[in-house]
Chain A
Amino acid sequence: AIQLTQSPSSLSASVGDRVTITCRASQGISSALAWYQQKPGKAPKLLIYDASSLESGVPSRFSGSGSGTDFTLTISSLQPEDFATYYCQQFNSYPPLTFGGGTKVEIK
């Protein structure tokens, strides 16, 4: 199974900061990667698919990049509603579909 390692596992940031989260795959997955945002008590929400495609309705401050084994999710200017946990997910190899361990973005 392909393993996804996210870093950092948590971070503290201020409103307006630029935030970058990394997801590394244990083997190449082309661009078959998605990013999700999850707020406490809520279901995950799709942000990015195919590594860099922005889901409809998601603010443009979110962007994704990478291919192969190394991927990043960037929030260009952190907003109060962005404090949440973020997960990457690969869909290049199945079964299983796998998720990263998550990155919790907290208020500094």
Chain B
Amino acid sequence: EVQLVESGGGLVQPGRSLRLSCAASGFTFDDYAMHWVRQAPGKGLEWVSGISWNSGSIGYADSVKGRFTISRDNAKNSLYLQMNSLRAEDTALYYCAKSPMVQGVIMDHFDYWGQGTLVTVSS
């Protein structure tokens, strides 16, 4: 069974940093592109960042480019999101999501999602 478990969320002041983690199990992690998607309270879904299976291709939404860094450790079956210079508008539930194609591109849909970790940016 595919499982994606996010952690690392919490309350943080504007301008500070936070690192999210996503622990994956139930599939061969290093075969698949992975993503972070967020959802502000009461709002819709927003793709944040994606990384290919071998970290050779990485992309970001304009809203986070230069502030957030996605990475993965295939030996630990883990995905990360380093978030710097956090703003109030980054407040959201952050989901880790998997792409469905083996060694596929980042430009894809998402077949499995975690339950999310909540990030609140407030003074």
Contacts and interface: CB of A to CB of B under 8 A. Distances in A.
A34 B109 contact: yes
B26 interface: no
Given A49-B100, A94-B59, A97-B50, A44 B111 contact: no
B59 A43 contact: no
Interface string A85-103: 0010101111111111110
A46 interface: yes
Interface residues of B, number: 23
Nearest to A56: B111
Tell me the dominant secondary structure on chain B's binding face.
Answer: loop
A55 interface: yes
Interface band, chain A: 20 to 34
Contact of A87 (B35, B45, B62, B107): B45
Contacts of A97: 35, 47, 50, 106-107
